[in-house]
Chain A
Amino acid sequence: MSAVADTHAQEHHHGPAKGISRWLLTTNHKDIGTMYLVFSFAMFLLGGTMAMVIRAELFQPGLQIVQPEFFNQMTTMHGLIMVFGAVMPAFVGLANWMLPLMIGAPDMALPRMNNWSFWLLPCAFLILVSTLFMEGGAPNFGWTFYAPLSTTYGPPSTTFFIFAVHIMGISSIMGAINVIATILNLRAPGMTLMKMPLFVWTWLITAFLLIAVMPVLAGVVTMMLMDINFGTSFFDASGGGDPVLFQHVFWFFGHPEVYIMILPAFGAVSHIIPAFSRKPLFGYASMVYAVGAIALLSFVVWAHHMFTVGIPIAGQLFFMYATMLIAVPTGVKVFNWVATMFRGSLTFEAPMLFAVAFVILFTIGGFSGLMLAIAPADFQYHDTYFVVAHFHYVLVPGAIFGIFASAYFWLPKWTGHMYDETLAKTHFWLSFVGMNLAFFPMHFLGLAGMPRRIPDYALQFADFNMISSIGAFMFGVTQLLFLLIVIKCVRGGKEAAAKPWDGAEGLEWTVPSPAPYHTFATPPEVK
């Protein structure tokens, strides 16, 4: 045992390997975290480019730029890439970087698996993106890929799409196992569960959600694979199957999935708001319980995505009530954040700007979510732009602003330099205005009756669509600024102190900036 410990101690003096093998073979949580973040941003730009194509086509009524076939491929790929390629890997990247630093661990618990779960991702997305160049085009059935449109009527590339989803799923499950193993086993002495930072808590719960539902996604795509290639009829009514079964299985995965994309952001924001309010987080325990409650409820609300498929009224009522209940723990979280700011000593650096916008705009997305939960009203909202507005409000200023807030908050720790505050504030304000301009009018469009996923629309929707497109272009172009800010910050800038934010708390600020290649070789003591 002591011999093993000795070799470890020696290895810790080594820096990273040279050249490409550092990245291909690395088992270092910081390197892997960086790769996840870079990959995620690349996917964000790719998915964003597709959104620009969509908004350009919708700039005016009529078909101008793309044909409906390609338009459908764009909406599908945009959704898939943003969900599985941009948001989820970004949070895994943050987890890789920050979880060991926050709990005082030397690395993730399963470093080799960590390497593998990252490198599976580029493979999966290479397959997914390559479908764009296949005969018959990329998947064109929406990111929710409802059968039988995606089975009997799907393009030949559907099988590649299924394979890509399987690989992503394996990657996510391994990532989640790693997170759980790390948090449960490698915490510094004295860090009891109820002393864990909230980002650690939210990721622990997220990881359990991932393990619970990614196999369900794998199951549903496998059923599709069988229907397409092996003559089964899971979703084909003419063979005795049920197309609605697809939706039940998909949304049993899909609803927890949306919390997978937001809970880590809840955690990060729960660090950032106290830091820039210079005041401890209000209601730590209730924050933890609220996240737990949201996660549990997420398993019993899936059919609220299916209010119009004709489920029996008893089911309709159950899913309506259960969905409305989610507002309670979510409300508690929002109230806690506001109470944390209340009577603090506030400053508004870029992380705080993004975090405050997160709270406000995510709450607006929560409000429209509450409206959507009212089953009778959902008959009017369902599958209109109101829904598009809703989920973009929880995903863009929710998940994405949460990621930007985290990135600015921890960039000094990662790079050892302060980012350019003026540019970062410009990035924030342009994103904020662009995002609201793009997505707020979508509420009006949906209420006025515009269905989602259409390449062309009736004339009464023209004005708001044009505004929405202008906002989207503005938001899209602004994101290149973020790339510039990060590159600038990596290459130089004001030296960052170990704790660059005076109100920040936590073990990650006890190590120097930039964080050394190996940290916490001896665990710190937590009182």
Chain B
Amino acid sequence: MTILELRDLHVTYKSDRGDVPAVRGVDLAIAAGETVGLAGESGCGKSTIAGAVLRLLPRDTIVGGQVLLNGDDVYELKPGRLRAVRWTAAAIVFQGALHSLNPVRRVGEQIEEAIVLHSDRGDAGTHAVRDRITGLLERVGLRPDLARSYPHQMSGGQRQRVLIALALACEPDLLIADEPTTALDVMVQAQVLELLAELQRDRGLALLFITHDLSVLSTTCDRLAVMYAGRVVEEGRTVDLLKTPQHPYTRALARAFPTIGDPRSRMNPSGLGGDPPDPTHLPSGCPFHPRCDMAIEACATADVLLRPIRPDRAAACVHVAVSA
């Protein structure tokens, strides 16, 4: 069953410098029990998509296309219904747990607030709600008595777990994790990733995993979509996509994460020259062509959209042969 579907999503921010087209036509679908990774550099539009799904973007932002959550168009919802959809249909775990939690309230109270405001699971202070908080904390591997702690009394890993507990408070069908482990240490990152995988197995959650770290996505996701300049430039099954990247950008991104033990990357770090494009001044033609080592003359003028290569695989590059 499809939980989330983006249809030709466009997001344009308003700024002093004019319109900033952050997302320029993205189609994406996530089924129940599926993990989809959204990869790309800073500014490619991946976090904007997270905000767009739950209408968390600035009020004057122009959103085009459709965001369907369990079949409902999120942008057609009445305010009351929207509030119900947030947290119960989809919830977000952000990076930087310290900023997402209220520093002057105990974490238990913050989880309670989410339960009381967004679901019909009982009123504040009742046993039902307290049991639910205990259950949530245990679910994410925290001691229930930590409910009485303030965020600053916890470690980074514990706070990230609290955010996951919060996101699960109303049993959403979709969890959006935006760089959930970027601020964490390797060992704690492994713990959080394991937790997310477990939750997904047990609850059949649909998971949209957003990060610049392709190596994290490689171990967690069924499918990957790689974004560049507001568009998906390649998508496919994770293993397939990482083993045989078709778009030159995916290839460069994959090479940037060395496999320890691989002689090709030993004493040979690999990056990608140049900077991500400024969304207000996108290059002509294929937006990647100024940084592309395979660019030909046509790339400077002809924009290439995502094209299917074979079932479950598509890329937006002039060098890619289109499937019949």
Genuine A/B complex: no
- A contact residues vs B (CB 8 Å cutoff): none
Interface residues of B (CB under 8 A from A): none
